[in-house]
Amino acid sequence: MGVSAVKEMYPKNGRVILHVDMNSFYASVEMAYDPTLKGKPLAIAGNVEERRGIIVTCSYEARKFGVKTTMPLWEAKKLCPQLIVKRPNFDRYRAASIGMFEILRKYTELVEPVSIDEGYMDITESFEFGSPIEIAGSIQKRVLEQLDLPCSIGIAPNKFLAKMASDMKKPMGITVLRKRDIPIVLWPLNTNEMHGIGKKTAEKLTTIGIYTIGDIAKGNEVQLKTLLGINGIRIRERANGIDQRAVDPESIEEFKSIGNSTTLPKDVSNQQELFQVLESLAETVSIRLKRKNVLASSLGITIRYKDRKTITRSKKLSNPLNHKDDMATIVKQMFLKSWNGDSVRLLGITGNELVDHDHAYKQLDLFSYEKDAKKEPLLKTLSNLREKYGKNIIENAGSHKIDSAHNVGTGTSFNKDFLRNFPEKNKEDE
């Protein structure tokens, strides 16, 4: 079929969006690295030596026994005594993520990472590679052949519908969801099955008699706005298949840094007083980061002494954050390493290398993962935590900006052997 004939299969007005979602990502990466694990019930868990360890993700074979993400390890082993449990290896997962996004960018530059294992693509102008179905099939095949990893892909006219479509068939599904399909396919579903609606919002909706996505679509706009604010309008639009958001590869680069400094009313040399100033600055910067809906991947401090001598120090963070307590703890440590004991005239804190909240991915380091897990089971890494606690839950658990695929040689054939170049993390790293 010629290019012009293929082009006819694309809309004259409108877009074609793919949502690519890796299946059981961490477990699948471990199976790609060690093929003897394939077909076996496998779980990735924090604190594997302890009964209180939590399942981060598990293979489909483990799910058949009732094992679920966020389940305590002891419970999972009770359901599936033959369960193989491994600690997370984040270097390996990041390597696989880079490889996956490298493949996506071969079809279009319009690739927007959403997390370590999912992203949107705008393939409206990619007809040289075939029809949308052919492109999805080609991506799925390449990811499987080159990385030995399964993925599901949703094809739709916008991001919301593409996301909903990719969830409909797992693993290794390709689903097309058109606007005309919405009344039959989406509207009968319960509200908590809609992307962007969590348990808390679903419960609120029941108070005004809304139980299905169809109820939202036909809901009273004023009533929805009163109940949920601007999000009420947004979810009603989504339920009707309206989503104008563009696939934006640069969305995570919008803000460069956010900081705050203060000149002290008098020169201060008392450590506790200086700590109080740092705590106050951390709170201000935290509020500003949250307003912009971003997390800092590195922190900087500025110390100016009474003689005007000024020093700045920065620290790369293993987990991006925007919570005042986490920030205060780190900047106090940085301050103590840098402070010479003299009186201080000015202090400043800056959050750098900012990551958009909705595009950050969670590096479930064991400390923060366990900390979150004590509060509330962590479902599907980011989304359900946000739904329960609001978007800022990610700040405690930590998240990580996806490494740019441009840092990887463009000629690299990213295959299973490449995964072996990323060493096991030692306990100190985790």
Q: State how far the alpha carbon of 41 is from the alpha carbons of 38, 115, 315, in Å.
A: 8, 25, 40
Expressed as residue numbers, the domain containing 197 is 181-239
| 136 in the same domain as 111 | yes
Q: Is residue 165 part of a domain?
A: yes
Determine how many CB atoms are found less than 10 A away from the CB of residue 266: 8
Residues 147 and 215 in one domain: no
Q: How would DSSP label each residue in 220-259?
A: -HHHHHHHHTHHHHHHHHHHTT---PPP-TTGGGS--EEE
117 is in an annotated binding site: yes
What is the spatial order of strands in the sheet that 55-58 belongs to?
Answer: 55-58, 42-45, 84-86
**Same domain flag for 185 and 91:** no
The reply to whether 200 falls in a domain is: yes
Whether 195 is in a domain gets the answer: yes
**Residue 389 domain flag:** yes
pLDDT in tens, 303-356: 999 888 888 898 988 788 888 999 999 999 999 999 999 999 999 999 987 876
Domain total for the chain?
3
Which segments of 75-203 are extended strands (E)?
84-86, 111-115, 118-122, 151-156, 174-176
Residues 6+ apart with CB under 8 A from 343: 267, 268, 269, 305, 306
23 and 168 co-located in one domain? yes
| pLDDT at residue 83, rounded to an integer | 96
Dihedral (Cα; 99, 104, 109, 115), 10-degree rounding:
-70
Count of C-beta atoms within a 10 Å radius of residue 160: 26
d(CA 179, CA 82): 45
Check whether residue 388 and residue 265 sit in a common domain. Answer: yes
50 plus 99 within the same structural domain: yes
CATH number of 221's domain: 1.10.150.20
**Coil, strand or helix: which one is 270?**
coil
- Residue 321: CATH number of its domain: 3.30.1490.100
Dihedral of alpha carbons 416, 417, 422, 424, sign = positive
Report if residue 420 sits inside a domain: no
Residues 257 and 235 occupy one common structural domain: no
Looking at the structure, tell me whether residues 318 and 234 fall in a common domain: no
pLDDT in tens, 76-134: 999 999 999 998 888 888 889 989 999 999 999 999 988 889 999 999 999 999 999 99
Amino acid, single-letter form, for residue 34: D
Mean pLDDT on 387-398 = 43
Kindly state whether residues 171 and 185 are assigned to the same domain. Answer: no
Residue 427 lies in a domain: no
pLDDT at 70: 84
Residue 193 counted as domain residue = yes
Candidates 35, 19, 275, 26; CA nearest to 160 is 19
- DSSP codes of every residue in 327-375: HHHHHHHHHHHH--SS-EEEEEEEEEEEEETTT-B----HHHHHHHHHH
Q: What is the pLDDT of residues 58-79, one digit of tens each?
A: 999 999 999 998 889 999 999 9
Residues 268 and 344 reside in one and the same domain: yes
103 and 212 belong to one structural domain: no
Residue that terminates a domain, selected from 156, 175, 194:
175
Choosing from 239, 269, 288, the residue where a domain stops is: 239
Report the CATH number that the domain containing residue 68 is assigned in CATH: 3.30.70.270
Q: Which residues are catalytic?
A: 118
Both 326 and 208 in one domain: the answer is no
pLDDT value at 145 more than 60: yes
Q: What is the mean pLDDT of the segment spanning 277-302?
A: 89
pTM of the model: 0.64
Taking the C-alpha atoms of residue 327 and residue 373, their distance in angstroms, rounded to an integer, is 21
Closest residue by Cα to residue 338 from 296, 381, 309? 309
The answer as to whether 8 is a domain residue is no
